[in-house]
Structure formats: structure tokens, C-alpha cells
Structure 1
């Protein structure tokens, strides 16, 4: 179980900006002829997405006879990104096969009356492209604000005492920040941009054109499937609006069963470690860890009427549905933010199925 979260205390996001004002030009001496300035032509920006790799991924198709592993990887990146934009989240976009991708494909197939085998096919790609055929890789120019951070040093996992001493639980570095912004695995971000200086403002990099972290309708009901490790969101008409992979409970701290409800929402939550109520960790005293994406409950906390339980983000998105939680429902930060932006107070939350500890 993830502990108690302050439900109403929100921590303001610090915006860091920089500017470089040039000194005023000196006036020309009297009785001199001023020369017209020589016009300068800015070099055209280098398009990363127009590179051979970017073009290959944007045009990736299904070929059952393909033996080139890079061609398969290109298709996986395209499928994952299009699923993400369609609100059938594969979790982290990493260009790899896995259980979360299979679950996302199955959910999309079911919603579009396709055979629910969880496999990539021409029919799947055609259905995804029919809804959204935009490029899956685009250019992004790193800004001075990106470079400035602020960033928080990486700390040992579950060292709650060290975390409590930090003024905020920010990203560790710019690569982690950019990867999460575009729903990507850090390794994929580096792979797509070999030799890139991510700390150089003005540099152009290639990123996935992921979803916008908003849903098309308000969420009135949430189903938490403990067997699959999946969260499904529905609007007031009963239409499914989103599907997310999730880590649900653990053997030691199983998630609850039955029907509960959303009590409140806390964007940028603090995290309270209370040893009198928790069975994990070493601290002997109550600790409060400040807000930030690397907070133990991530960027968003959706508080449930089941006391001390919630749906929340995580500092380790690639481990969602691969490692047990301490009892709550863990999503990637971006999926938790998306769900939190649309869920209604009082929305039904139904835990179903038999809990299975992720492998």
C-alpha cells in the first residue's frame, strides 16, 4: 500500500526561465557613413523526423514475412504510439513486445470488432490509421527551460528518509523528463537520437507524437481488473473511453474487492510514510515526501473511499504491471494524469477478478 497522501495540499510548480538581453548598440560617431548591415540567413533546422529512420518508422507497415529485426521494431514503435493516442495505453513506448502491448492491442481489437488475439496485423494497423494517420515521430527543439530543470539527484529506491530531505521530487535529468513527456522509454529516446546533446538548448531531437493526456469525455466509472493488471474507464453512457496497464496490489498487500468510489483528486500530491500503518520500509518516524514526478505516488493521486487506497502515478513507468505495488493501483504518470483530468468525484471504482502478482 502506498501510504497516506495529503488530499488537498498542492505544491506550486516552479517555472525556470532564462533570457539573454543584448547591450544597447553604441551610436555611430558624427560625420561618418554607416554601412548597411549584411543580412544573415539562418541555417534551416535539421529535421530528425525526416531522417531515414524517422521516415521508416512513420511509414512502418505489417509484414508477416519480415525477418529484419529493425523493421519489426519500427512497426512496434508505430503501433504503440498510435495506441497511446487512441487512449489504449501500451504503457511506456519502447518498441518492444510485451504483456502491456498485448493487452492494449486486445482492448483495441475488442472495441473495433477485430479478432482479439493481441497480435499486430494489417487489420489492426488499418484500424489504427483510419482513426489517426498522423506521423508517430516528430521533431522537438529543446528549450532553455528544459535544460534549466529543476532536477533532483537520484536516490536509492524506498530511501524515504533521504527523499523527505529533498525540497521536491523532480526529474533526475533532462532525458528522464523528455522521455516521460513523450511517453517514451529513456533507452528509446537515446536510440532515436544517437550523439544528441540533450542539454543543449536549440538542439532538435526526434520524439514520439504521443497522446495529449486528455480524454474525450468525463469518466463516470472505473473498472480495475486485478487478473489482467488493467484499468478501464467509462463515461456516463457506459462507453469505454480509455484503457491503461496497471500494477494492482501485491501478495503482501492485496488490493480490495468490490465497489468503491472516487473521493477526491490530488494533482502533485505529497506522500506520507507512516510506519504505524505500513508494513514496508525502515523509517521509525512519520515522514512527508514533497511533490514531484519521482514522488513514490508520482504526479497524480486519485483518492478512493477505501481508506488509504488510491490510483496513482509512479517514478518507474517501465515497471507498471511488471512489479507488485504496496496495495494501490499504479499507472504511468501520464496515464494517471490523463485519468485524473477526466474522472468525476463520486465516480464508481469496481475491483474485479483475482489478483495476480506481476512477473
Structure 2
């Protein structure tokens, strides 16, 4: 499975999303069908080999060596022939990708920027199309104070999102490369709109403008959870939840719902104007 192929393997489901198809382990399925058109396994692929690589990746991750862990998980994804092992490998690869983004480790998409007089984290984030949250995380900054001459890691990635309604998965990508796949909830009865959207608003602890009125942040009735990434279509966006057990089911009023931990992770990565594609 080439890293550049447009796939997103849902760890919780053991399924991978392709534009126009699904991967279940090594088998290509037509989207929306339960039948498999079997394809040949890659040369040298084996369940036991993938399992050993996943275990090696887990050890490297536990040691904090996420660069090597990522390489091992990539090999595990390539060699897996069993859907469950492929899911575990892709989940490990997703974790490694996120850990590297939030660390000071250089990546192919990162640069080093030296702080100049008059710079602010917000201004730098706007200039380079990133977020203040990612700048803080990758550079160990807890507030907004930066010093002239300080060197910052800046990630210049082409983050974009693919939401698959049929699988209730959200795939985070850098260009066409899959970084991580999340379980999500979409609209009950398929009411989540399909098409391409842009993130327009980013809110921490958002109020919920419910049919019963405005529900403030912190109110146990506020269904938006801890973050809101609003689309350029009013009333729709990606948000957290007060009911994490509902994630993975088509139960929302049209928005895309994640656990609070997952939406906080995405919020730190996705600046305004990020592309979001939603497919049936």
C-alpha cells in the first residue's frame, strides 16, 4: 500500500477509506457494499510480520523515539494482510504522526524561523498558515511570550480533512498523505451535507445556539463539547461532545462530532481556511 495512495484506515473499524473505495486489510471493496473483490497480497506480507512490527513500533513509541516508530509503523502498514493488524498499524502510524507534529523534531514539512523584533505568535501563525496552538506545542511555549533571536519550529503542511459519512470516519491528511483517522459521528438520517467546505470559525469552549436558546460553555446541556471548527456554511462544523459513547454513530443534527480529546487535537492543527471534504 503506497503511502501516497489516498487511504484512511479506520483503526476502530479495521477499514480504510479510499476515494471511490474501501480497504479492508488488503481487499478492495466497493463503497457501501459488503462484498470484497480480492487483490493479491504484497510480496512478503504476513500477519505475524506486521504484528511484530506493530510491537516494535509500540516499544519505540514508549521510549519516545517517534521518528523510528513512524518508519516501523509504515512498514507494518505495507506488510499487513489481516484487517485487524492493518488497523493497529495504521493507528500506531497516526499516533506517531501526531506526536511528531507536536514535538520539536524536524519533519520534511517544517522549517526553523528566528524571531524578529515585533513578531507575535499570532502574526507568525497567520504568515505561515498554521495555528498558535501548534506553535506553542512544537516549541514548548506555555503562553504568548517569545524572545528576539528565539528559533521556532514551524510546520508548513497542507492539512485537509475528509469525512466519510458511510463509515463515520474523519481522515486528517497532509496533501494526499493520510496522517490519522478518527472515528466521528455524522448526521442522523444522512443529513450532513456533502461537498467541499472551508473552516471559517475556530472557538474554544463554544456556546451552543440550540433550538431552545443559547446554551453557554460548561452547561451540561451544551452538546458542542470543548471546541468548534465552523464551516463556511452557517450552522455546520466539527465539534466535541458531552456524550463520547455516541461517537461513531450517525446521530447528530448535521455536524461532525468527535470526542473532546480528538477535536482538541484537530483544533491545534487546523487553521482557518482548511479544506474539509464530506462524502457519502
Question: What TM-score comes out, normalization by structure 2 length?
Answer: 0.50
Q: Is the 8 A contact 2:168 2:249 kept in 1?
A: no
Alpha-carbon distance in 1 for matches of 2:181, 2:253: 22
How far does residue 344 in structure 1 lie from its aligned partner after superposition?
2.2
Residue correspondences, number: 167
Matched, 1:268 2:205: yes
Corresponding residue number in structure 1 for 2:188: 250
Alpha-carbon distance in 2 for matches of 1:313, 1:350: 19
SS at match of 2:273: strand
1:297 pairs, out of 207, 213, 224, with 224
Higher strand share: 2
Alpha-carbon distance in 2 for matches of 1:322, 1:268: 23
How far does residue 102 in structure 1 lie from its aligned partner after superposition?
2.5
Q: Structure 1 regions of 5+ residues with no counterpart? A: 1-86, 91-99, 108-112, 137-210, 276-282, 354-359
Q: Is the 8 A contact 2:199 2:274 kept in 1?
A: yes
Q: How does 1:1-359 map to 2 (within 5 A)?
A: 90=11, 100-103=12-15, 106=16, 115=26, 121-133=47-59, 216=101, 218=157, 220-235=159-174, 237-251=175-189, 254-273=191-210, 275=211, 283=212, 286-291=213-218, 295-353=222-280
Look at both structures and tell me which one has the larger radius of gyration over its CA atoms. 1
Alpha-carbon distance in 1 for matches of 2:60, 2:265: 21
Question: What TM-score comes out, normalization by structure 1 length?
Answer: 0.40
Higher relative contact order (CA 8 A, sep 6+): 1
SS at match of 1:298: coil
Structure 1 residues 293, 219: CA separation in 2 closer, same or farther (over 3 Å shift)? farther
Q: What does the per-residue CA deviation read over 1:285-323, in whole Å, with 9 as the maximum and x for residues that have no partner?
A: x23322478731111111111111010111121221135
How far does residue 114 in structure 1 lie from its aligned partner after superposition?
6.0
Higher helix share: 2
Q: Structure 2 regions of 5+ residues with no counterpart? A: 1-7, 18-23, 29-45, 63-94, 102-154
Corresponding residue number in structure 2 for 1:76: none
